[in-house]
Structure 1
Amino acid sequence: MPIDDTLAGYSDLAYKTAIVVYALVLVLLIVQYASARVRQVSDREMVPAGGVAAGSGTPGRIDEAPAVPLSERLGNIAFSVLFVAVALHIGSIVLRGFSTGRFPLGNMYEFVSMATAAAAVVGLVFMRDARYRAMWVFLLVPVLILMFLGGTMLYTDAAPVVPALRSFWLPLHVTIVSLGSGVFLVSGVASLLFLYRLRQPEGAESANILGVIARRLPDARALDRLAYRTTIIGFPLFGAGVILGAIWAEAAWGRFWGWDPKETCSFIAWVLYAAYLHARATSGWRDTKAAWINVAGFVAMLFNLFIINLVVSGLHSYSGLT
């Protein structure tokens, strides 16, 4: 099928625009993060001497609603614009598929785009609550870095895939793996922030800049629960992707498993996430020890994505990765 250059151009434009909009969201959230003030008084409004409290029911008085803080308004705007960025991001993937007449997961650029889109969607699902809004600052940074690398160093023009990838296993195997990778991105960031949050005691939060940063984050337990909930979803997804890859390998190469560098690193990452889930349910390992295992799994995923794909030569090098 011939390549539709017009749709391919629109796909690239949507991808670049999504990066710009994500960056705008990040700037708005950073401003909100820096300007947010921790509440110092109780819900009871302080009333100056001789004054009248709002809502006191004084005849003829019209009570004014309290003004929404600037930080909260910026956060609301950023969260609304975030939906635009995600829509553009997903639109770029769909247009890429239509322009090539195939499933848009045939090279590293397309894989990174799908994985980062999955991370953004998972974030929208699990981080809707306002208490998680500050965490978006730390999630969007790796998303933007990966998208920038995908759109520059890893970019590949729209083209048909090589013959080895012309299989119905491509959309099954690679889609599931990329979705699992996106989920693990959210989980890894949550565990890193959980470990950081634990290092900042409540009483010392305002003593230095690190404490101020920690003060804006959700509490440690909420971050730990988020990491656990997302890993529960990502683990079976990624495991299913590995199994489907083995079935595809048997059809393509005549064996289910050959300890190719990509296969080996994927298996190591899967084992690490299995160990995290087991440790998370084991007394004495539920806090920092389990979180460090989750971080190790996250590092293994990044190593698999960049070092294995771009540096180490193997059977998966044909996918536009080297």
Structure 2
Amino acid sequence: MTDPQLALASDIAIWAGLAVLALALISFSAHLAVTGAARQGRSDDTVPQPTALLVRTGTGTEGSTTFPDAAPTSAALEPPAVDHPAGVTRRWGVLGMQLTWLATFAVLAGTLMRGLSVQRWPLGNMYEFAIVAASFALVVFCTWSLKQDRLWLGPFVVLPVMVVLVAGKIWYTEASQLMPALDNTMWLTIHVTLATLSVALFVIGAALAVTYLLRDAAERKSRVRGWLAALPQAEKLEAMTYGMHIFAFPLWTFTLITGAIWAEVAWGRYWGWDPKEVWTFVIWVVYAAYLHSRATSSWTKRQATYVALTGMLCVIINYTVVNLLITGLHSYSGVA
């Protein structure tokens, strides 16, 4: 049995969340622009000028003024370590964060009502995968921002979440009951929840990876200008990228393991080289390669980060091409 009224309310809540996220994206983008300009301006203002030195002669005269020949040290030329050089720079970011919280509640409400409308965990088709993964990504970002200032990361998280929700609307499927192969509440809850949570963390990891590569390229050219000046230093961004993947990779490992166990329950074998199984393993291998390359001295951090982004590309292929174009035992996208 399905509840059409709850299903309709769920759809409205998701659309509302998407609209609020669009406003949050504008606010976060303004925050980056204003903060970057303020930091860049303060950096230019604080570049030390040659200091006049008073040199006294031995004749008791007044002396002369000279300027040292030495150029300022590179440390003196570094931008000041000021998170928000002007109070006004936080206004747009804080507004964006508040809007993101509001959108998070809307998307969570829509996801919950979708599950209540069909009286099951809402993970039976691609539309439901999309809204649950978006919910996880928003919750992780908002919770992370409670402890540390992550306003600069807002556009890089909100934009892909919006893309996921829009894609979900394109893949929209009417609320309905599960197909027989998925009708196992325990393994559906465990396996698919782990998968969507892992994907949400990989999305945030990819967002961090992009910010690192952009900032690192600017630092290499000594041209940290505009909104790039609002980002943390490249070294810190790379460390956060690595940390997010360290957390996400074990969850994807459990996704692979629980999927094999569920396959044995549903189809009588742990592994059958089904396209979905193969691509789940491919994703695991690519992210394992990223973690290995990150710990290998012969690889640069920049090169390793490109491997992480390759993993994100594999995730996208797995949840689009494999689900929509390749026929297999996991063909339950719900899209006609």
TM-score exceeds 0.5: yes
Give the alignment's Cα RMSD to 1 decimal.
1.9
Paired residue type of 1:22: L
Q: 2:191 aligns with which of 143, 162, 173?
A: 173
**Structure 1 residues not aligned, in runs of 5+:** 43-66
Whole-Å Cα distance in 2 between the matches of residues 233 and 9 of structure 1? Answer: 36
Whole-Å Cα distance in 2 between the matches of residues 128 and 98 of structure 1? Answer: 29
- Judging changes above 3 Å, is the alpha-carbon distance between structure 1 residues 194 and 129 closer, same or farther for their aligned structure 2 residues? farther
Paired residue type of 2:173: T
| The 10-residue stretch of structure 1 (71-80 or 302-311) with the greater mean CA deviation from structure 2 | 71-80
Deviation, 1:312, is 1.4
Partner of 1:62: none
Whole-Å Cα distance in 1 between the matches of residues 246 and 240 of structure 2? Answer: 10
Answer yes or no: is 1:89 the counterpart of 2:107.
Answer: yes
Partner of 2:33: 34
**Structure 2 residues not aligned, in runs of 5+:** 47-84
| The 10-residue stretch of structure 1 (122-131 or 231-240) with the greater mean CA deviation from structure 2 | 122-131
Q: 2:155 aligns with which of 137, 156, 159?
A: 137
Q: 2:125 aligns with which of 94, 104, 107?
A: 107
Would the aligned equivalents of 1:29 and 1:75 in 2 still touch at CA under 8 Å? yes
Deviation, 1:91, is 1.1
Partner of 2:177: 160
Paired residue type of 1:225: A
Deviation, 1:255, is 1.1
SS in 2 for 1:199: helix
Deviation, 1:73, is 1.1
Deviation, 1:213, is 3.3
Normalising by structure 1, we get a TM-score of 0.85
Answer yes or no: is 1:309 the counterpart of 2:308.
Answer: no
| The 10-residue stretch of structure 1 (310-319 or 227-236) with the greater mean CA deviation from structure 2 | 310-319
Partner of 2:304: 290
SS in 2 for 1:257: coil
Paired residue type of 1:176: L
Partner of 1:13: 12
Would the aligned equivalents of 1:205 and 1:212 in 2 still touch at CA under 8 Å? no
Partner of 1:234: 248
Normalising by structure 2, we get a TM-score of 0.82
Between the aligned residues of both structures, percent identity stands at 35
Tell me how many residue pairs correspond in the alignment: 292
Would the aligned equivalents of 1:131 and 1:218 in 2 still touch at CA under 8 Å? no
